[in-house]
Structure 1
């Protein structure tokens, strides 16, 4: 527990690395994975990413928010564990109502102040903001200032991702039917990002073929790193071998133009793969 006794809480969609979560007592509220037979699971609690991927041939499930009761229970448990307040870091409000629900429950808490931060991002890019929340709390940043600090950091955090197959993005309504048809016929792979204003998916680049899409992601990260000069980076994918290859590429190319303070590599949580499929490759860059 940090000396301020401020808890750091997030949702599973931020993909904050598990070892960091364990080392710093970050409380993760799981999103839910739902199947058509009525079964429902808490991501990372009673279903794993591997479980979900194995069942993709049978069914692509849906996801849902953690319930207000689950969020309230997490806040109350933090209080029982000796914390006197909390900072909550969520995935983009433009992609999920998780942030809105966290805010609603936070307003109902008495004598337990809660600051909720909208990263306007998703996956490990949002996870980088969670990690900075921990550093700020442990360094003594007051709770009434941490929201503005993390909000400014979120504006300097970018995520880029692409997939080999567009079917999952189409099913989840993340891309239009026109983009899906053109991409499928012409082998166009859009590189997506979260826009800075609303945190919704927009196309950052279009590339013909998978290899060029990955190249485009690396170039976008390099462009941001060159602008900021000093950065934290992250690479995430379900495929460990590809992850290692991309980490080496990102380190080489970004290292030529900027100082890399940290480079995080991780897998991808089930609630994100449901909407993108197992071929997802994500890269994040954060100016510091």
Structure 2
């Protein structure tokens, strides 16, 4: 019997397509969402539809929280006890969440030599494609160091561009500064945002939603180069997301994959209804 592969763990902000985690034996540790008096696990108890409805109710306070180190430690111990030689745990940018740090603390407790924790410096399918790269490496028989390297290499190539209808949620969550939030309200513009070194940064300004969509296409095409894995994400903007995906298919027929999905409740709590974005992972 061949040895068990390295176990791959991630968190619920991956936004992997339905069924992929189960088929690929990926263990997902969920973050939590609190909507008023209701608290639940991202992607298990609370989905994007629940979140969209809560955001529409302005009287509800919506907040998110990371998993505890104890939750990660429990998962790591179970996987190792089940025969995995080691664990590679890949997570959203530590600049945006304490999730990576919770995983790191758990790894130190369980055994740093057996659990490797990767900061993808990305979110959504930027993180998701790094996780899938780790799975491919593990399934091919790679040891923990090589599985970690595979995830890190994909994450390093990832680009994330997005726009939101309201920057105030990102400001209140501490993901952008007050000056950037002011830019999107006082001047009635729609800033295009991106991830730079794991942080959300303003990239440029446009005046309309239609122009924002067009700029997302142009930015993705330029980042993709000769070919890339792509993903389009949205919250409560399915029509715009499909329009963006159609334009990308037309402009980038050589794309390896192009996935379209609604972001989960945790990411949605910060970007708000109407958010639209694209993830680009150029070929290595």
Q: So what's the TM-score if we normalise by structure 1? A: 0.90
Cα deviation for residue 134 of structure 1 reads 1.1
Q: How does 1:136-151 map to 2 (within 5 A)?
A: 136-151=137-152
Q: Is the 8 A contact 1:49 1:269 kept in 2?
A: yes
Q: How does 1:24-39 map to 2 (within 5 A)?
A: 24-37=24-37, 39=38
Paired position in structure 1 for 2:212: 213
Q: Is the 8 A contact 1:84 1:112 kept in 2?
A: no
Cα deviation for residue 110 of structure 1 reads 4.3
Paired position in structure 1 for 2:53: 54
RMSD: 2.0
Deviations 1:109-154 (A, max 9, x none): 1497111111111112111111111111112222122223322221
Q: Is the 8 A contact 2:234 2:241 kept in 1?
A: yes
Q: Which secondary structure does the structure 1 equivalent of 2:252 belong to?
A: helix
Q: So what's the TM-score if we normalise by structure 2? A: 0.91
Q: Taking structure 1 as reference, are residues 172 and 54 closer, same or farther at Cα in structure 2, changes over 3 Å only?
A: same
Q: Is the 8 A contact 1:4 1:138 kept in 2?
A: no
Q: Is the 8 A contact 1:60 1:274 kept in 2?
A: no
Q: How does 1:77-226 map to 2 (within 5 A)?
A: 77-110=78-111, 113-196=114-197, 199-226=198-225
Cα deviation for residue 3 of structure 1 reads 5.4
Where in structure 2 are there 5+ consecutive unaligned residues?
A: none
Cα deviation for residue 244 of structure 1 reads 2.1
Q: Is the 8 A contact 1:186 1:208 kept in 2?
A: no
Paired position in structure 2 for 1:246: 244
Q: Which secondary structure does the structure 2 equivalent of 1:260 belong to?
A: coil
Q: Is structure 2 residue 256 aligned with structure 1 residue 265?
A: no
Paired position in structure 2 for 1:274: 269
Paired position in structure 2 for 1:230: 227
